[in-house]
Chains A and B, each alone.
Chain A
Amino acid sequence: MNPFIENPIFLYATGLLVALLLLLGFLRFISLLRTQRTYQHSIVDLINAELPQTQCGHCSYAGCLPYARAIAQGEAINKCAPGGTQTIRRLSWLLNEQREPLDPAHGSLSPATVAVIREEECIGCTKCIQACPVDAISGATKLMHTVIAAECTGCDLCVDPCPVDCIDMIEVQQPPRQWPSPGPNELVPC
């Protein structure tokens, strides 16, 4: 028998190590349980959940899901103009990537818009209806069309097909925040 093993110090140390390992294992177990739901999603779903789902195609992909797939393959995260800085920030958190400004090739930061058809000029060609990715335009051939404002994502895909240019993109009136953050008023900045 190795006299070292008989030394009680060895027993103490081994016991302490085992206890520590058990503790760490327990903590890891808890944190695994906490994040379990996240693991059930694929990375594409997670990325897609951060995209604004306007389906505008400004990122040069046909819709948000294809762009999410592309990001999962390593595409840049700064191509979503409707999502703006908020989406880029959240994507950079999610993917642990560098936060970059919006790529100007794919649009600029602008407030949310909805499409509005100048109805007296509409000739009823249904081209915009076919272009709309979320079926937010109602109307029929040779009859006036109109945009259901509540469903419109503001993707402006209907603007180009219109032969008479009777579609305007107008800004959505955002209601003012009732409770602004008191942060800037603090006297001692933290």
Chain B
Amino acid sequence: MNSSSSPFQFAKLKTRQLMLLVLAAASPAVLMHTWFFGYGMLLNIALAAVIGLSSEAVCLWLQNKPIKVALSDYSALVTALLFAVTIPPGTAWWLIAMGMVFAIALVKHAYGGLGHNVFNPAMAGYLFLLLAFPLSMTAWHLPQAAVTPASDHSPLSWTGFIESLSFVFPIIQNQTIDIDGLAMATPLIEYKMAGQNAVLEAYREGLPLFSRSSGTGWELVNMAYLIGGLFLLSLRIISWHIPVAIIASVLMMSLLFYSDGGSSVNGTPYLHLFGSATMIGAFFIATDPVSAATSNPARIVYGIIIGCSIYGIRVWGSYLDSIAIAVLFANFCAPMLDHFFRPRIFGQVRWSPLRGQTSHE
């Protein structure tokens, strides 16, 4: 036996399987993305995965670390997936490459690799692109078919694929597509202006919910993330503390500041939960264990910080959606939260931030 002292028996779950389960939980949402926005999302993911894995391999090689062992934990794949679904579909390849290399090389490996990064790599990569290329990060290039269903082909057809490909690799640009005409603003803006939710609207107007023109895309994508998140929760891959705290605080904030018919329309709670990226943020991004707070009481506070920041930045800030900023902001706080919010140790008298002075009997 290799180990010379107890324990000798171990659970079967390994880091690799954990990451694979996260990928599996996100897959329904990815399919939903693809259904509504065409192949751009899949291209994003594929490209980000390839670049992420290769830049991780290079970083490991530079540091003389065992490449195969570290690559097979699949953490780079999770980072790539989260990065790829946050940027608009049809982002050019060089933007994806810049974001992923920033995320993996600078945010992850410069801090010491897996388990040592202070910030969420995917969100840091996205924020980097958002600050450097704000226009590209807010314009959603969609295949013509997804925007105007009157066109004669489906966005999931071969033509749609070629269209999406041409956004990612502008070299093979198809001259027949007017890119400017296809750029659309992020849905949150539209809903913010409209102040109503698309599912009800589509239902009232008799539109099929899953058709691409119904405008229900974001809500159903969010539902898919919610289902994936509940799947992770039921397997206890993630603990309930962070998602529940985020969703509860976003809900609370949006209820508190909701003014129906007032001069400043802050959006309905429904819009804040399902018309934006709240669900992926709560279940997939903020629960990244490495950069989050690690004890359960600290996780609750961490989630509240994220939830409040999401709402505050969305409504009063100048950024459209704010998951990335909120998560990175909470990452700053995580070590302090871990220090101050600890569970009461079994057998010690009371919970106290002044541990070490009073808590021993």
Enumerate chain A interface residues (CB-CB to B < 8 A): 30, 33-34, 37, 179, 187-190
Contact = CB atoms under 8 A, between A and B. Distances in A.
B354 interface: yes
Interface string B48-72: 0000000000000000011001100
Nearest to A179: B5
A187 B69 contact: yes
B350 interface: no
B344 interface: no
In the A-B complex, the 3 residue pairs with the closest CB atoms: A30-B353, A33-B354, A34-B354
Interface residues of B, number: 14
Contacts of B70: 188
Chain B interface, >50% SS class: loop
Interface of B: 5, 65-66, 69-70, 112-113, 115-116, 340, 353-354, 356-357
Contacts of B115: 190
A188 B15 CA distance: 14
A152 to B, nearest CB: 34
Contact of B65 (A30, A33, A179, A188): A188
Contacts of B112: 190
21 contacts: A30-B340, A30-B353, A30-B354, A33-B354, A33-B357, A34-B354, A34-B356, A34-B357, A37-B357, A179-B5, A187-B66, A187-B69, A188-B65, A188-B69, A188-B70, A188-B113, A189-B65, A190-B112, A190-B113, A190-B115, A190-B116
Contacts of A179: 5
Contacts of B69: 187-188
A187 B114 CA distance: 14
B54 to A, nearest CB: 19
B311 to A, nearest CB: 15
